[in-house]
Amino acid sequence: MKILVALSGGIDSSTVAHLLHEQGHELIGVRFLLWNDPLAPALAQLLPSKCCNAQTATRAACVAKQLGIPLHIVDLQEEFKREVVDPFLEEYRRGLTPNPCIGCNRTIKFGKLLELMEELGCEKLATGHYARVARERLSDGSDRTILLEAADAAKDQSYYLYGLSQEQLSRVLFPLGNLRKQEVFALAGHFGIPFDRHYRESQDLCFFPEKTPKEFLKRHLRDDLRSGRIVRRDGTIVGSHQGLPLYTVGQRRGLGIGGLKIPLEVVAKDAQKNTLIVEEKGRERLASVRLKELRWISWLPREGIPERFDCRTRSLSPKISGILRFAGSSGAFRFDHPIGPQAPGQSLVVYRGEEVVGGGVIE
């Protein structure tokens, strides 16, 4: 089979390429150039971005050379800025906490990769994601592709893939979906891939080098950051913030408030008053959340009729049970037991067992 392999230069995609090559497939490699922060050229030399740096580029080229396969380098920096970075910054301006990885997977990674797959005459696209796909026969005789959690729960990335369409999922391969990370390390050693167990994995947001987006936001939203008060629900002033975009609902660390027996957490942001609202951890609980931009992968729940599902509000958080009701692309998820504050802009992903049914954005 002729397969397009996404080669980031990391251990996962490199192992995928070796696995498929060993199985006798005809491979073509591709690596995207996505981002080079124009506001941090000096920083890039000291602490390179997680997705596009000289080290991973060299590794990808080495893997392609070792396997004797062509490697296409595709510059998508303009598209990545327009489709991922600019919306990310705009949502922070609006007081939200976006999850750009989900949109990036749908429009950039899988959108552009599948276009290239067709252009190059390949039958499938393979990536190093930790997730699984399977075909399922329906009662009417038709088939559908379902998205499943990875075998390695600690590395599962299915949460970030709920935005993919049935057509996209039907054309991809996730060779690592049934493997655990330790097995991938063992395979990498077997194939002679030059990595050690302490290499830096590109997890979470890849387009800034720091661990959190705070410094990135400071660079790109400098004109939108105005200091203001941190208050409790009763109006008591407990501190000052450096600009609302730098904080997210549910945040406890980095508030600059100490000396309290019970730590405080962010429960809301008041943009009109430029005020950050906090309360004691665990004091405010949510019985339900409203959802927008609902997407279904391969199975459509009955509109207007409550359905019981599990969900996640973060990629590797424990599943939460509850009831979903929706109409069109909007809905609400009521939890069996109230949970802590949830950041508007984050995604709630719906599961039926190990199958990812779909998801939406928390309002």
pLDDT tens track for 60-91: 999 999 999 999 999 999 999 999 999 999 99
Kindly state whether residue 163 falls inside one of the protein's structural domains.
no
Say if residue 265 is in the same domain as residue 245: yes
Q: Is 62 a catalytic residue?
A: no
Say if residue 236 is in the same domain as residue 322: no
Q: Of these residues, 51, 104, 122, 311, which one is catalytic?
A: 104
Say if residue 61 is in the same domain as residue 124: yes
What pLDDT is stored for residue 45 in this prediction?
53
CA distances in angstroms from 21 to 18, 181, 217, 309, listed in the order given = 5, 20, 41, 39
Kindly state whether residue 235 falls inside one of the protein's structural domains.
yes
Q: Of these residues, 51, 122, 206, 311, which one is catalytic?
A: 206
Rounded to the nearest 10°, the torsion over CA 353, 354, 357, 362 is: 90
What pLDDT is stored for residue 47 in this prediction?
55
Say if residue 112 is in the same domain as residue 11: yes
Say if residue 299 is in the same domain as residue 354: yes
Structure tokens at 363: 């309002």
pLDDT(40) > 70:
no
Mean pLDDT, range 107-112, rounded to an integer: 94
Kindly state whether residue 113 falls inside one of the protein's structural domains.
yes
Say if residue 234 is in the same domain as residue 182: no
Say if residue 326 is in the same domain as residue 297: yes
Say if residue 183 is in the same domain as residue 69: yes
Cα 97 from Cα 91, distance rounded (Å): 7
Kindly state whether residue 57 falls inside one of the protein's structural domains.
yes
Cα 310 from Cα 263, distance rounded (Å): 29
pLDDT(41) > 60:
no
Confidence of residue 93 (pLDDT cuts 50, 70, 90): very high
Point out the domain boundary residue: 280, 297, 323: 280
pLDDT(16) > 80:
yes
CATH of the domain at 234: 2.30.30.280
What pLDDT is stored for residue 56 in this prediction?
80
Domain hosting 94: range is 2-128+175-191
Radius of gyration of the chain (CA): 22
Say if residue 71 is in the same domain as residue 180: yes
Helix (H) or strand (E) holding 45: helix 41-46
What is the pTM for the complete model shown?
0.91
Tokens 């080669």, located at residue = 7
Count the domains in the chain.
3
Q: Is 122 a catalytic residue?
A: no
Mean pLDDT, range 145-168, rounded to an integer: 96
What pLDDT is stored for residue 194 in this prediction?
77
Say if residue 24 is in the same domain as residue 84: yes
Cα 337 from Cα 264, distance rounded (Å): 22
Helix (H) or strand (E) holding 103: helix 100-104
